A and B are shown apart, each in its own frame.
Chain A
Amino acid sequence: MQASHTATDDAQAGFRNALVAAGLLIPTGVDGLYGRSGVFEEVVERFNDLITSWGRDDGAEVMRFPPALARHHFERSEYLKSFPQLAGTVHSFKGDERAHQTLLRRLEEGEEWTDGQMATNVVMTPAACYPIYPTVAERGPLGDDGALVDVYSYCFRHEPSLDPARMQLFRMREYVRVGTPDQVMDFRQSWLERGRALMESLGVPLAVDVANDPFFGRAGRMLAANQRDQGLKFELLIPITSEEKPTACLSFNYHQDHFGLLWDIRTPDGAVAHTACVGFGMERVALALFRHHGFDVRAWPGSVRAALWG
């Protein structure tokens, strides 16, 4: 057990060092926080465009939010019930001039200074779809067609790791369906098929499997078991730093009425709306492409270049 753990660590650190040496990732000294090179960004942008082309006929409404949520929306989202360990709240200095002097003195003397920082009304976005539920709810009952939203945002999760595929700040593109259970299940099934075909066009080895979210604590183990028993979450996995533990690059999530109840989103007949989403981990897909096709994008297979660059 210990040996394989170390081997995984080595593989993750090795791949990260290679990405840094090639200039694709720019280190900051904090695990999971990286700059990206122009080439890395181009791959992300081309993949983003590819998602758009696969989803275009659905006519999703585009919404773009900064990578932050209103704190009152975050509090109501129940994220803290399930993932307190991952959440990132934004704090700022709110003191007077005297407090400022204390702050500077502590900083100068290497003392703890962050305990004086006060919570703001801004919380980092944990998943790209979080801002859309209150937005859709605000509009009142859904129409007959429900809602389909296209979101794209940087997300924050506090899980520092050597693994370059587990960043603390990363981008997630999502399509989110809100509607009747049938509408939502049709959407998820359609994207399970489309997501697989889309990724197959990029020439990477993949598998789709049932999955669970990293819920916190003992209660979390029960939530995770529930999620698996009901087949609520599937992931599209691609080996990046390990064949045995491939990385989730896309996920297909059926939330049942969780967000509908939380935000009181209703279908035209007054029933609680169900929701589902397909999420694309943009950095993870880019890393999978670099891992399987090499660091020189000009040398990637013609079919992959054609899919991305047209």
Chain B
Amino acid sequence: MVSSDDIRDLLRDSGWLTVDASELSENDDLYAAGLTSHGSVNLMLALEERFDIEFPEQLLRRRTFESIGAIRNAVAGLLGGTAAA
């Protein structure tokens, strides 16, 4: 089970964004919120560690990490469960 707040917490503590992740909605564009290409790689690795998952090649794309909602759906899919709102 993964919730949007799990993702939000991870983003807030990371320093990869230039805004406070607590203020972000599900669909806000994380790249517009300061996420860089290298930042998105670090985010991907941090998600893998946090949830003990491995993103397959087809998910290693910019849009997988473009919003809290997109990340939650991708992580939920890999956990084989459903995403909590």
Q: Which residue of B lies closest to A78 (CB)?
A: B38
Residue-by-residue, is A193-224 near B (CB-CB < 8 Å gives 1, otherwise 0)? 00000000000000000000000001101110
In the bound complex, do residue B63 and residue A222 qualify as a contact, i.e. CB atoms below 8 Å apart? no
Interface string of A204-246 (1 = CB under 8 A from B): 0000000000000011011101110110000000000000000
The answer to whether A229 and B44 touch across the interface, beta carbons within 8 angstroms, is no
In the assembled complex, B40 has its CB within 8 A of some CB on chain A: yes
Q: Is the CB of B45 within 8 A of A229?
A: no
B60 close to A (CB within 8 Å): yes
Give chain B residues whose Cβ lies under 8 Å from the Cβ of A222.
40-41, 44, 60-61
Among B37, B60, B61, which residue has its beta carbon within 8 angstroms of that of A218?
A: B60
- Interface residues in B24-74 (C-beta closer than 8 Å to A): 36-38, 40-41, 44-45, 57, 60-63
Cβ distance A74 to chain B, nearest Cβ, rounded Å: 17
A81 part of interface (Cβ distance < 8 Å)? yes
**Interchain CA distance A135-B60 in the complex, whole Å:** 35
Q: How far is the CA of A226 from the CA of B36 in the complex (A)?
A: 10
Nearest-neighbour CB distance to chain A for B51, whole angstroms, equals 16
CB distance A225 to B61 under 8 Å? yes
Report Cα–Cα, A225/B59, bound state, in Å: 10
Interface residues on B, range: 10 to 19
Residues of B within 8 A of A230 (CB): 62
For the complex, what is the distance from the CA of A274 to the CA of B29, rounded to whole Å? 20
| With contact pairs A78-B38, A226-B37 given, residues A219 and B44 touching in the complex (Cβ less than 8 Å) | yes
A181 to chain B, nearest CB (A): 14
Q: How far is the CB of B26 from chain A (nearest CB, A)?
A: 21
Q: Would B62 and A219 count as touching, CB distance under 8 A?
A: no
A276–B60 alpha-carbon span in the complex (Å): 25
CA distance A78 to B36 in the complex (A): 13
Say yes or no: A225-B38 contact (C-beta < 8 A), given A219-B44, A219-B45. no
In the complex, what residue of chain A is closest to B42 when comparing beta carbons? A219
Contact of B57 among A221, A227, A229, A258 (CB under 8 A): A221
Q: Taking the nearest CB of chain A, how far is it from the CB of B33, in angstroms?
A: 14
State the CA gap A230–B38 with chains docked (Å).
Answer: 14
Residues of A near B63 (CB, < 8 A) are 229
Choose one: B40, B45, B57; the contact of A226 (CB below 8 Å).
B40
Nearest to B61 among chain A residues (CB) is A225
Q: Which residues of A contact B41 (CB under 8 A)?
A: 219, 222-223
Q: Can you name the residue of chain B whose Cβ is closest to the Cβ of A218? A: B60
Q: Which of A219, A226, A258, A261 contacts B61 (CB 8 A)?
A: A226
Q: How far is the CB of B13 from chain A (nearest CB, A)?
A: 20
Specify which chain B residues have a CB less than 8 angstroms from the CB of A225 in the assembled complex. 60-62
Interface-central residue, B36, B37, B40, B61, by most chain A CB under 10 Å: B37
A221 contact set on B, CB distance < 8 A: 57, 60
For A261, the chain B residues whose CB sits under 8 A away are 36
A39 to B60, CA, bound (A): 46
Q: List chain B residues, Cβ under 8 A from A229.
A: 61-63
Give the 7 A-B residue pairs with the shortest CB-CB distance, closest first.
A222-B60, A219-B41, A226-B62, A225-B61, A229-B62, A226-B37, A221-B60
Question: Which residues of B come within 8 Å of A, CB atoms?
Answer: 36-38, 40-41, 44-45, 57, 60-63
